[in-house]
Amino acid sequence: MLLGEKIGAALLMMFLCTLIHALFMAAGTHALDWRLTRFGPAKGPFDRVLLVWLMILWMFIAIMIEAWAWGLLYLYNPMITALPDAQSAFYFSMVTYTTLGYGDIVLTGAWRTLAAVQAGNGVIIFGWTTALIFYFIQKIYKNN
Protein backbone atom coordinates (compact mmCIF):
# COMPACT_ATOMS: atom_id res chain seq x y z
CA MET A 1 0.00 0.00 0.00
CA LEU A 2 1.39 3.37 -0.97
CA LEU A 3 1.85 6.19 1.52
CA GLY A 4 -0.99 8.12 -0.12
CA GLU A 5 -3.33 5.17 0.33
CA LYS A 6 -2.33 4.91 4.00
CA ILE A 7 -2.96 8.59 4.55
CA GLY A 8 -6.26 8.28 2.67
CA ALA A 9 -7.29 5.41 4.95
CA ALA A 10 -6.27 7.45 7.99
CA LEU A 11 -8.26 10.47 6.84
CA LEU A 12 -11.27 8.26 6.18
CA MET A 13 -10.96 6.87 9.71
CA MET A 14 -10.75 10.41 11.09
CA PHE A 15 -13.95 11.26 9.22
CA LEU A 16 -15.67 8.14 10.59
CA CYS A 17 -14.59 9.01 14.15
CA THR A 18 -15.81 12.59 13.70
CA LEU A 19 -19.16 11.29 12.46
CA ILE A 20 -19.50 8.85 15.37
CA HIS A 21 -18.58 11.54 17.88
CA ALA A 22 -20.97 14.07 16.35
CA LEU A 23 -23.83 11.57 16.46
CA PHE A 24 -23.13 10.76 20.11
CA MET A 25 -22.83 14.48 20.90
CA ALA A 26 -26.18 15.23 19.26
CA ALA A 27 -27.90 12.27 20.93
CA GLY A 28 -26.41 13.11 24.34
CA THR A 29 -27.41 16.76 24.04
CA HIS A 30 -30.91 15.77 22.97
CA ALA A 31 -31.26 13.28 25.84
CA LEU A 32 -30.01 15.81 28.39
CA ASP A 33 -32.34 18.51 27.06
CA TRP A 34 -35.24 16.05 27.17
CA ARG A 35 -34.38 15.05 30.75
CA LEU A 36 -34.11 18.66 31.93
CA THR A 37 -37.32 19.71 30.14
CA ARG A 38 -39.34 16.69 31.25
CA PHE A 39 -38.22 16.52 34.89
CA GLY A 40 -36.77 19.96 35.53
CA PRO A 41 -33.37 20.75 37.02
CA ALA A 42 -31.50 18.03 38.84
CA LYS A 43 -32.56 17.79 42.47
CA GLY A 44 -29.58 17.88 44.80
CA PRO A 45 -25.88 17.25 44.36
CA PHE A 46 -26.20 13.48 43.81
CA ASP A 47 -28.59 13.94 40.87
CA ARG A 48 -26.29 16.53 39.29
CA VAL A 49 -23.24 14.31 39.69
CA LEU A 50 -25.19 11.35 38.30
CA LEU A 51 -26.21 13.34 35.19
CA VAL A 52 -22.63 14.52 34.63
CA TRP A 53 -21.36 10.95 35.02
CA LEU A 54 -23.95 9.64 32.57
CA MET A 55 -22.88 12.20 29.97
CA ILE A 56 -19.21 11.32 30.52
CA LEU A 57 -20.04 7.63 30.20
CA TRP A 58 -22.03 8.30 27.02
CA MET A 59 -19.13 10.14 25.38
CA PHE A 60 -16.67 7.48 26.55
CA ILE A 61 -18.76 4.84 24.80
CA ALA A 62 -18.32 6.89 21.61
CA ILE A 63 -14.54 6.89 22.17
CA MET A 64 -14.55 3.11 22.67
CA ILE A 65 -16.45 2.61 19.41
CA GLU A 66 -14.02 4.89 17.58
CA ALA A 67 -11.04 2.99 19.01
CA TRP A 68 -12.68 -0.29 17.93
CA ALA A 69 -13.03 1.10 14.40
CA TRP A 70 -9.31 1.87 14.29
CA GLY A 71 -8.58 -1.52 15.83
CA LEU A 72 -10.59 -3.27 13.12
CA LEU A 73 -8.61 -1.39 10.47
CA TYR A 74 -5.42 -2.73 12.02
CA LEU A 75 -6.77 -6.23 12.59
CA TYR A 76 -8.14 -6.81 9.10
CA ASN A 77 -5.21 -5.31 7.26
CA PRO A 78 -3.15 -8.31 6.08
CA MET A 79 0.01 -6.19 5.95
CA ILE A 80 -0.06 -5.53 9.71
CA THR A 81 1.20 -8.60 11.51
CA ALA A 82 2.05 -7.02 14.89
CA LEU A 83 -1.60 -7.29 15.97
CA PRO A 84 -2.54 -10.98 15.76
CA ASP A 85 -5.97 -10.85 17.42
CA ALA A 86 -8.89 -8.56 18.27
CA GLN A 87 -7.76 -8.00 21.85
CA SER A 88 -4.29 -6.87 20.74
CA ALA A 89 -5.73 -4.66 18.02
CA PHE A 90 -8.18 -2.95 20.41
CA TYR A 91 -5.53 -2.58 23.11
CA PHE A 92 -3.07 -1.02 20.67
CA SER A 93 -5.80 1.21 19.28
CA MET A 94 -6.90 2.48 22.73
CA VAL A 95 -3.32 3.07 23.84
CA THR A 96 -2.69 4.99 20.62
CA TYR A 97 -6.00 6.90 20.62
CA THR A 98 -5.40 8.11 24.17
CA THR A 99 -1.80 8.96 23.22
CA LEU A 100 -0.67 6.90 26.21
CA GLY A 101 1.68 4.91 23.97
CA TYR A 102 3.05 2.20 26.25
CA GLY A 103 5.14 0.85 23.37
CA ASP A 104 4.72 -2.80 24.30
CA ILE A 105 2.95 -3.34 20.96
CA VAL A 106 4.05 -1.24 18.00
CA LEU A 107 3.47 -1.11 14.27
CA THR A 108 6.46 -1.46 12.02
CA GLY A 109 7.66 0.37 8.94
CA ALA A 110 5.36 2.72 7.10
CA TRP A 111 2.38 1.61 9.21
CA ARG A 112 3.68 3.79 12.03
CA THR A 113 2.28 6.75 10.10
CA LEU A 114 -1.22 5.35 10.51
CA ALA A 115 -0.75 5.10 14.28
CA ALA A 116 0.57 8.67 14.42
CA VAL A 117 -2.53 9.95 12.62
CA GLN A 118 -4.72 7.95 15.02
CA ALA A 119 -2.96 9.58 17.98
CA GLY A 120 -3.58 13.02 16.46
CA ASN A 121 -7.22 12.07 15.94
CA GLY A 122 -7.42 11.02 19.58
CA VAL A 123 -6.03 14.35 20.81
CA ILE A 124 -8.72 16.20 18.84
CA ILE A 125 -11.51 13.87 19.99
CA PHE A 126 -10.50 14.11 23.65
CA GLY A 127 -10.35 17.90 23.41
CA TRP A 128 -13.80 17.91 21.86
CA THR A 129 -15.08 15.59 24.58
CA THR A 130 -13.65 17.84 27.29
CA ALA A 131 -15.46 20.83 25.79
CA LEU A 132 -18.69 18.81 25.66
CA ILE A 133 -18.38 17.79 29.29
CA PHE A 134 -18.05 21.45 30.30
CA TYR A 135 -21.09 22.23 28.15
CA PHE A 136 -23.07 19.43 29.82
CA ILE A 137 -21.99 20.62 33.28
CA GLN A 138 -23.14 24.16 32.47
CA LYS A 139 -26.56 22.87 31.36
CA ILE A 140 -26.94 20.62 34.40
CA TYR A 141 -25.93 23.28 36.93
CA LYS A 142 -27.56 26.24 35.15
CA ASN A 143 -30.82 26.31 37.11
CA ASN A 144 -29.47 25.06 40.45
CATH code of the domain containing 56: 1.10.287.70
Q: What is the pTM of this model?
A: 0.91
Give tens-digit pLDDT for 24-47.
999 999 999 999 999 999 989 999
Average pLDDT over residues 5-16: 90
Q: Provide the residue range defining the domain that includes 100.
A: 3-141
Count of positions (residues) in the chain: 144
Q: Tell me, what's the pLDDT at 144?
A: 62
Section 128-138 average pLDDT:
97
Cα separation, 30 vs 23, in Å, equals 10
d(CA 104, CA 132): 32
Helices (H), 40-111: 44-75, 86-97
Neighbours of 118 (CB within 10 A): 27
Q: How many domains does the chain have?
A: 1
**Which secondary structure element, helix H or strand E, spans residue 78, and what is its range?**
none
